[in-house]
C-alpha cells in the first residue's frame, strides 16, 4: 500500500536516523510506531501496564519505601 504523508524536515530526519540506527527502512519504523497506538475500538482487550494497585491494609505507603528498604524489608 502506498501512502503520502506531509511531515516536517525535522521529523523526517528523526525517522531516517532511527531507521539507520536499526538497519531497517523508514516504513518499518513507522509501522512499529503505529503498533503502539491505542486500539481502534474500545472492545479490544487492554493490557494494563501496572500491577498491585489497591488499598494497603498494612499501613505502609510508597512514601515509606526507602525507609522500609533501609530496614531490610524484603530480604531473606
Q: For the chain of 76 residues, list the mean pLDDT of each consecutive stretch of 10.
A: 91 96 95 88 66 67 80 74
- Entry pTM: 0.50
Cα gap 23→51, rounded to integer Å = 35
Q: How far apart are CA 25 and CA 18, in angstroms?
A: 9
Report CA 60 to chain centroid distance, whole Å.
28
The whole-number pLDDT of residue 10 equals 96
Please name which of 29, 31, 7, 2 lies closest in space to residue 17, comparing C-alpha atoms.
29
Helix axes 9-22, 26-35, angle to 10 degrees: 100
What domains can be seen in the chain, in order of their start residue?
A: 1-37 (1.10.1220)
> Looking at residue 59, what is its pLDDT?
74
Q: What are phi and psi of 53, to 5 degrees?
A: -80, 130
**What is the per-residue pLDDT for 13?**
97
Amino acid at each position: 500500500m502506498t501512502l503520502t504523508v506531509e511531515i516536517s524536515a525535522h521529523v523526517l530526519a528523526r525517522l531516517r536516523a532511527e531507521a539507520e540506527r536499526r538497519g531497517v527502512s523508514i516504513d518499518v519504523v513507522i509501522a512499529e510506531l503505529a503498533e503502539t497506538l491505542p486500539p481502534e475500538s474500545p472492545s479490544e482487550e487492554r493490557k494494563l501496564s501496572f500491577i498491585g494497585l489497591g488499598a494497603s491494609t498494612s499501613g505502609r505507603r510508597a512514601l515509606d519505601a526507602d525507609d522500609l528498604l533501609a530496614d531490610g524489608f524484603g530480604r531473606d
